[in-house]
Amino acid sequence: MIYMVPLGMKSLLKLDHDSRRSYVRKSFGSTRRLVCSDTTVERVMRQLPCDVFSGVIKKIYQQILGLGLSRISLGAEKQFRIGIVDGSGFGKQYASVVMIAGARNFPLTAEVYVKYGKELSASRRALGRVTKLLGSGWCEILLGDELYGTREDFRRCREEYGCDLLVKAGEERLTIILSDAKGLIFGCLSDESGVEKVSGVDRNRCCEYEVRKVEGITWEGLAYPLAIAWVRETYLKPRPNKPDIEIFWVITTKQGLSCNDMRDLAHRRWQIENGFFKKLSFLVKSKKVYTHNASCLRSLLQMWIIGFCLFEAFLDEISEDDLRQMYGKVRITLGLMLEELRLSFLDLTCRQ
């Protein structure tokens, strides 16, 4: 089940078929002709207890820390351990996923919810489980979308998870929080107002940007002051089905971040969508209906998470220069790297 991800098995039936191959059975020390059918897999997955994966996830996290893959750099000197939480659909069910976004993307856990609109409560359960397993402070800054911009979640992050929460939000969802910040940012623009301002050109995103930030904003009912940034990005090339100008707000309990840091972190929230959800769907077709049973999906996701971490570790080991030497000037794609992993697995099995 774990090897479904690094070997790109896109269904339980494909797992059934591949497990009958001699090199796969040999790699796991099995002499049986039929290792396990797809129907048996689904039946057994429903019965696995949730904590059966905890020890493996903890070891993966410790390896990430030991290899120095857990941190990202902001500017020349700042390094942070960044966590991201978000929900996504898996067939007709949903799950919230918690991930470490460092040098590579390493998911840690998933919490299944079967009804749309229950993401926030599922995410809180997932974050509580990760904190219980790895300890308070497992990440330094947690990134989320505007759904997480509540007093309760800002408080939980500081007091329970041992980190600061940073959310990217639109103005319409957070009018109450932003009222004081807007007065400072747009009402007083002198150097003495405490408003930091920066502008420039982002060549990677092909846009001009302007950021204005203020710190020390209080929100009634929340014991921790907020730093709030207003960001406007003007894109230099047309974007299909997207506006040429995007305006958003960045809100966090983390003090001392620069304007560029807050804008950068707001964009990094998308790493869980592009770096995990879409990639996992490419590898195992996770967006299709594997099962209608929530317990089965939970076990599937936990095993896929472990397999995904193995795949990310492989991608960290292999360099683009090595691939260029093997394949020449062909385009280096995720599919090509997946095929390289399959071949290396087959070569290792044959040598055994």
What average pLDDT does the segment 97-117 reach?
Answer: 92
Query: What pLDDT is stored for residue 189 in this prediction?
Result: 46
Q: Which of the two residues, 319 and 284, has the higher pLDDT score?
A: 284
List Cα–Cα distances, 35 to 28, 32, 45, 89, 278, in angstroms. Answer: 10, 6, 15, 30, 30
Contact (Cβ atoms closer than 8 angstroms) between residue 272 and residue 281: no
Of 272, 342, 348, nearest in space to 314 by CA: 342
Q: Convert the pLDDT of each residue in 13-40 to its tens digit.
A: 888 888 888 777 877 788 877 777 888 8
User: Is 235 a residue whose pLDDT tops 60?
Assistant: yes
What average pLDDT does the segment 109-134 reach?
Answer: 93
User: Is 12 a residue whose pLDDT tops 60?
Assistant: yes
d(CA 103, CA 317): 12
Answer CATH for 69-290+310-317 from 3.30.70.1450, 2.40.110.10, 3.40.640.10, 3.90.350.10:
3.90.350.10
* Six token digits for residue 130: 């990760």
Contact (Cβ atoms closer than 8 angstroms) between residue 269 and residue 84: yes
Quickly state the pLDDT bin for 188 (edges 50, 70, 90).
low
317: Cβ–Cβ under 8 A, 6 or more apart, which residues?
Answer: none
Q: Tell me what the pLDDT averaged over the chain comes to.
A: 87
Query: What pLDDT is stored for residue 266 in this prediction?
Result: 94
What average pLDDT does the segment 322-326 reach?
Answer: 76
Read off the DSSP letter of residue 204. Answer: T
User: Is 322 a residue whose pLDDT tops 60?
Assistant: yes
d(CA 183, CA 109): 40
Read off the DSSP letter of residue 117. Answer: T
Q: Which residue has tokens 């795949």? A: 311
Cβ neighbours around 172 below 10 Å, total:
7
Cβ neighbours around 264 below 10 Å, total:
16
pLDDT winner (highest mean) among 42-56, 130-144, 189-203, 322-336: 130-144
Give bridge partners of residue 72 from the DSSP assignment: 80
User: Is 331 a residue whose pLDDT tops 90?
Assistant: no
What average pLDDT does the segment 190-212 reach?
Answer: 84
Q: Convert the pLDDT of each residue in 79-92 to its tens digit.
A: 899 999 999 999 88
Q: Convert the pLDDT of each residue in 242-265 to its tens digit.
A: 888 999 999 999 999 999 999 999
What average pLDDT does the segment 57-86 reach?
Answer: 89
Spans of all domains in the chain? 69-290+310-317, 322-352
What average pLDDT does the segment 307-313 reach?
Answer: 91
User: Is 297 a residue whose pLDDT tops 50?
Assistant: yes
Angle at 86 between CA 106 and CA 196, to 5 degrees: 95
Q: Which of the two residues, 127 and 35, has the higher pLDDT score?
A: 127
* DSSP element (H, E) containing 55: helix 54-66
Query: What pLDDT is stored for residue 28 in this prediction?
Result: 78
User: Is 177 a residue whose pLDDT tops 70?
Assistant: no
C-alpha 134: how far from its chain's center? Answer: 17
d(CA 211, CA 263): 8
